[in-house]
C-alpha cells in the first residue's frame, strides 16, 4: 500500500475530489517559503531523472490566432509519487472583457491504479509555481553577486503580482520598484496594488522599456509577447539579472551576450521561445550555461560580468508538486469535497 497525501492508495477505485479556487487560495496563502522549497525539491527530482515530463501539447485555433490551450502531462517519482495533467487556456481577449487571460484545471492521478482522484482549479496553482520558480531563481542566481535593490516589472498582470508576492514572502525587499506596461491602465493598477501592499520601495511607472531596464538590477518579464520586442543589447550594459518568465521578449543578440539559465533544455528550446530562436540562429546550444538545478547543485557557477537571464519554460511536474501540496493541505483540514459514485464501472465484471 502506498500513500497519496493522507489518503491510502488501495486497489479499489479511489474517491474523486473537487477542490475549488477558494480552497486552493486558502491552502497556499502566506506559505511562499514552503512552496519555494517544494519547487526546489521538484527541480532536484527532475534533474535526477525521477520524473516524467513529456513535451507540452498546444491546441491552436485558425479563427482565434492569439488564443491557445496547453496540455501538460507529468509524473513525479520519489517517496511521494503522483501523476497528472494540467489543462490551461490562454485567451488574451478576455482581458478586454474584464476577465483573467488564463484559466486552468489540474487532474491528479493515483500512480497505483491510474484513476484520477482530484480535480483542482489551477490558475492559482499555475501562477504560484511560476512565481515560486522565479523566486527560487532570483535567490540562487544572486548568491555570488550583489543582491538587487531595484526591480522592474515589464508586464503587470497576474503573474507579475504573484512574483512580487513570492519575492517579498521569501525575504526580498527593494528600494525602488519600476513598472512598465503597454497598457497605461494596467501599469496604474499594478502601481496601486504595490502601494496597497505597503511595500517600502518607491514605485515608479516608466513609459518606456529602455528606462525601466536601465534603472533595474532585477528585471521581470511577464508579458504575453509572441515574438521578441526587446533587441538593444546596450540596455543591459549594467549586467542585471533577468527573470524572463514570458520567454519570448528578448531577441537572440541579448541572450548571446548573457549567461543563460533555463529549467529544462529540451522543453525551453522549442515553440519559438527566445532560446529556441537563438539556437536556430547559431545552430547550437552553446549559449546555454545550464539549468537552475545545475546551479543549485554547484555544477554551474553564475558569472558576475554579464547579464544573467533565467528562462523557465514551466514544467508540468511543478504544477503536480504544488497541486499535490494543496490536496494534502485540504485533506488534512478534513475539507475534501468528494463526489460519490463519480466512476460508474467500479468492478471489472460488473
314-324 residue pLDDT tens? 899 999 999 99
**Is the pLDDT confidence value at 241 over 70?**
yes
Q: Are 179 and 188 in contact (CB under 8 A)?
A: no
| Greater pLDDT, 7 or 307 | 307
Q: What is the pLDDT of residue 44?
A: 97
Query: Using CB atoms within 10 A of its CB, is residue 34 exposed (0-12), middle (13-18) or buried (19+)?
Result: middle
* pLDDT: which is higher, 272 or 98: 272
Q: Over 70: is that where the pLDDT of 51 sits?
A: yes
Q: What percent of the chain has pLDDT over 70?
A: 97
Which of left, alpha, beta for 247 (phi over 0: left; psi -120 to 50: alpha)? Answer: left
Higher-confidence residue of 135 and 3: namely: 135
Query: Per-residue pLDDT averaged across 16-39, rounded?
Result: 97
pLDDT of residue 7: 46
Q: What is the pLDDT of residue 2?
A: 37
Q: What angle do CA 39, 45, 51 make, to 5 degrees?
A: 105
pLDDT value of residue 186: 92
Q: What digits encode the pLDDT tens for the residues 167-192?
A: 999 999 999 999 999 999 999 999 99
350 has pLDDT over 80: no
| Angle, alpha carbons 275-242-30 (nearest 5°) | 115
Average pLDDT (35-45) is 97
Is 179 in contact with 194 (CB distance < 8 Å)?
Answer: yes
8 pLDDT band, cuts 50/70/90, is: very low
- Structural domains for the chain: 2-125+316-339 (3.30.1780.10), 133-311 (3.40.50.720)
Q: What's the rounded Cα separation, in Å, for the pair 34 and 22?
A: 19
User: Residue 117 in 3-state DSSP?
Assistant: strand
| pLDDT surpasses 70 at 3 | no
Query: Which are the contacts of 132, defined by CB distance < 8 A and separation ≥ 6?
Result: 32, 35, 36, 38, 39, 166, 318, 322
| Range of lowest pLDDT (34-48, 81-95, 249-263) | 81-95
How much is the pLDDT for 9? 45
Helices of type H across the chain: 21-28, 32-47, 123-141, 158-169, 184-196, 209-214, 252-256, 265-268, 274-282, 292-296, 316-332
Amino acid at each position: 500500500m502506498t500513500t497519496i497525501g493522507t489518503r491510502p492508495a488501495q486497489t479499489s477505485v479511489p474517491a474523486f475530489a473537487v477542490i475549488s479556487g477558494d480552497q486552493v487560495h486558502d491552502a497556499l496563502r502566506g506559505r511562499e517559503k514552503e512552496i519555494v522549497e517544494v519547487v526546489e525539491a521538484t527541480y532536484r527530482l527532475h534533474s535526477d531523472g525521477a520524473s516524467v515530463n513529456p513535451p507540452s501539447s498546444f491546441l491552436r485555433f485558425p479563427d482565434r490566432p492569439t488564443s491557445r490551450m496547453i496540455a501538460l502531462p507529468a509524473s513525479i517519482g520519489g517517496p511521494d509519487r503522483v501523476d497528472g495533467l494540467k489543462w490551461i487556456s490562454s485567451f488574451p481577449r478576455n482581458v478586454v472583457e474584464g476577465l483573467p487571460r488564463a484559466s486552468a484545471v489540474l487532474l491528479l492521478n493515483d500512480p497505483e491504479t491510474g484513476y484520477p482522484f482530484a480535480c483542482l482549479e489551477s490558475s492559482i496553482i499555475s501562477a504560484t509555481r511560476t512565481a515560486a520558480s522565479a523566486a527560487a531563481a532570483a535567490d540562487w542566481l544572486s548568491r555570488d553577486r550583489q543582491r538587487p535593490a531595484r526591480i522592474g516589472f515589464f508586464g503587470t498582470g497576474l503573474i507579475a503580482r504573484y512574483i512580487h508576492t513570492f519575492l517579498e514572502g521569501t525575504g526580498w525587499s527593494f528600494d525602488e520598484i519600476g513598472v512598465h506596461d503597454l497598457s497605461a491602465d494596467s501599469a496604474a493598477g499594478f502601481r496601486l496594488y504595490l502601494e496597497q501592499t505597503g511595500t517600502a520601495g518607491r514605485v515608479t511607472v516608466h513609459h518606456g522599456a529602455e528606462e525601466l531596464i536601465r534603472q533595474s538590477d532585477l528585471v521581470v518579464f511577464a508579458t504575453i509577447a509572441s515574438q521578441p520586442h526587446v533587441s538593444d543589447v546596450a540596455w543591459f550594459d549594467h549586467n542585471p539579472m533577468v527573470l524572463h518568465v514570458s520567454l519570448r521578449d528578448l531577441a537572440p543578440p541579448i541572450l548571446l551576450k548573457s549567461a543563460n539559465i533555463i529549467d529544462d533544455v529540451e522543453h525551453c528550446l522549442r515553440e519559438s521561445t527566445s532560446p529556441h530562436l537563438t539556437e536556430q540562429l547559431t545552430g547550437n546550444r552553446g549559449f546555454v550555461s545550464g539549468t537552475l538545478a545545475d546551479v543549485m547543485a554547484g555544477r554551474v557557477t553564475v558569472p558576475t560580468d554579464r547579464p544573467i537571464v533565467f528562462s523557465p519554460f514551466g514544467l508540468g511536474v511543478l504544477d503536480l508538486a504544488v497541486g499535490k501540496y494543496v490536496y494534502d493541505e485540504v485533506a488534512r483540514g478534513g475539507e475534501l469535497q468528494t463526489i460519490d459514485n463519480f466512476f460508474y464501472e467500479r468492478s471489472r465484471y460488473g
